[in-house]
Amino acid sequence: MYEKLDNPVYHSLNEHHKKFCLNFGDSKFYNPEVAAFGGSSEVAKEKDITEYSKICDDFLIFGAKPYGNFEKELSQLVCDQYVLENKIDLDFTEKIDLLREENNEELLHFIKKFYPHYFKNRTPELGRYFGIFKDNKLVAVTGERMQMNDMTEVSAVITDTDYLGKGYAKQLVAFVSGKIFEDNKTPFLHVAETNTGAKKLYEKLGFHHRGTINLWGVKR
């Protein structure tokens, strides 16, 4: 049922995110101004990766370990993959705002402060982003990243360190997941295997663990 999640980048670029796709051989890559991710129908080849590295010098390949001889050893990040099959029943106590184009500068500054490597200037184009403001300051966000025709990834679950422990992430994840269900799609997400705190939150909200997926870091 969720076989496409074995290859989420490839299928996203083959479906809903086709407009962001750059094809190199059998591999598909996001426009690097939007996201530094790639994937292949089977195994990404050295030639395809080399071509993409001419325009993006630091990126991730999702799935099977790329084939070839690389000047720099590929780094490996193991992520747990979760799927949500039922809407989260939660009482929302915070005002959650849709972030619009006029919020992009603040959104980019906020996310790059905490996760500078995974967010690009055009990443907000991938989907909707929602935030919680306190005293006119953005203090927590969650949005959508990879998207297929029937599934959308919940991503960028970030809370300012000065506002942790207030349940903002829980409410944002529930809210964004609800929006995805309204689109008649299934929410899924990725979290580093070592991030036990986040995994406990997602499991408590009803996400079920589907398996693990490898992310291979390529640097030119």
What band does 69 get if pLDDT is binned at 50, 70 and 90?
confident
Neighbours of 178 (CB within 10 A): 15
pLDDT at 147: 98
Q: According to CATH, what is the number of the domain 82-211? A: 3.40.630.30
Cα–Cα distances (Å) from 41 to 13, 74, 146, 160, in that order, read: 11, 19, 16, 37
Query: Tokens in use for 199?
Result: 């995994």
pLDDT at 135: 95
Mean pLDDT of the region 101-122? 90
- Does residue 105 carry a pLDDT above 80? yes
pLDDT at 200: 97
Query: Tokens in use for 160?
Result: 């300012």
* Chain mean pLDDT for the chain: 95
- Rounded to whole angstroms, the Cα distance separating 84 from 79 reads 16
- Does residue 115 carry a pLDDT above 90? no
pLDDT at 153: 98
Q: Where are the domains of the chain?
A: 3-78, 82-211
Name the percent of the chain lying above pLDDT 70: 100
Mean pLDDT of the region 71-85? 94
Contact 121, 33 (CB under 8 A): yes
- Does residue 54 carry a pLDDT above 80? yes
Cα–Cα distances (Å) from 208 to 81, 181, 205, in that order, read: 9, 16, 9
pLDDT digits (tens, 9 = 90+) for 160-174: 999 999 999 999 999
- Rounded to whole angstroms, the Cα distance separating 23 from 190 reads 24
- Does residue 71 carry a pLDDT above 80? no
What band does 127 get if pLDDT is binned at 50, 70 and 90?
very high
- Does residue 25 carry a pLDDT above 80? yes
Q: Is the pTM of this model over 0.85?
A: yes
* DSSP line for 76-139: EEEEEEEE--S-------S--EE--GGGHHHHHHHHHHH-TTS--TTGGGGS-EEEEEETTEEE
Mean pLDDT of the region 138-152? 98
